């Protein structure tokens, strides 16, 4: 196949980060649910029964074109007994300069944001 990629070139030229993010998230959630069903040997119709929905609605969810509400994500997570999405604390790199016998040694440490501010006794706005 030729090296040029008409799809990627067009997306780059017309970049829309908001739609990029929406498509990435919708497909990631759909893929996660699809994987969980497969892992548990369940069919979309089984999930439909568990949630009291029509099987056709579950099929739509699995296409990655559906925009989920947090309520739906919570319901699916509850019946499947696992978290569909994980909200993780943002990590920040903090650099300390340590003097060892008058020689500078740079150390890198990673903290969760809340830890960083409590350790440094800083207000978040001060960052």
Partner 1 sequence: MNTFAHIKPIGRYDKVSYYSVVVDNDTVSLFEKFIAAHETTNKEKLYHIVKWIAVIGNKYGAQPHLFRPEGETADTSALPPAENRNPSYIENGKKKPNSLRLYCLRANEHVVFLFNGNLKTAQKAQDCPNVQKHFKLANQITKAIDEAFKQKDIHWNETHTDIEFQSDLVIYL
Where do contacts with partner 1 occur on this chain (CB under 8 A)?
1-2, 5-8, 10-11, 14, 16, 18-20, 22-24, 27, 31, 34, 56, 59-60, 62-67
**Number of residues assigned to the chain:** 127
Q: How far is the CB of 114 from partner 1 (least distance, A)?
A: 31
Q: How far is the CB of 30 from partner 1 (least distance, A)?
A: 8
Which of 31/127 has CB closer to partner 1?
31
Q: Which two tokens stand for residue 120?
A: 């440094």
Which of 34/94 has CB closer to partner 1?
34
């Amino acid at each position: 196949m030729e090296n040029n990629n008409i799809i990627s070139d067009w997306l780059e030229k017309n970049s829309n980060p908001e739609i990029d993010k929406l498509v990435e998230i919708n497909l990631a959630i759909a893929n996660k649910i699809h994987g969980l069903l497969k892992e548990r040997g369940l069919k979309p119709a089984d999930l439909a029964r568990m949630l009291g929905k029509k099987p056709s609605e579950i099929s739509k969810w699995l296409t990655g074109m559906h925009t989920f509400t947090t309520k739906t994500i919570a319901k699916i997570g509850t019946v499947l007994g696992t978290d569909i999405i994980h909200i993780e604390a943002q990590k920040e790199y903090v650099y300390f300069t340590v003097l060892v016998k008058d020689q500078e040694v740079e150390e890198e440490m990673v903290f969760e944001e809340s830890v960083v501010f409590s350790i440094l006794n800083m207000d978040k706005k001060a960052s």
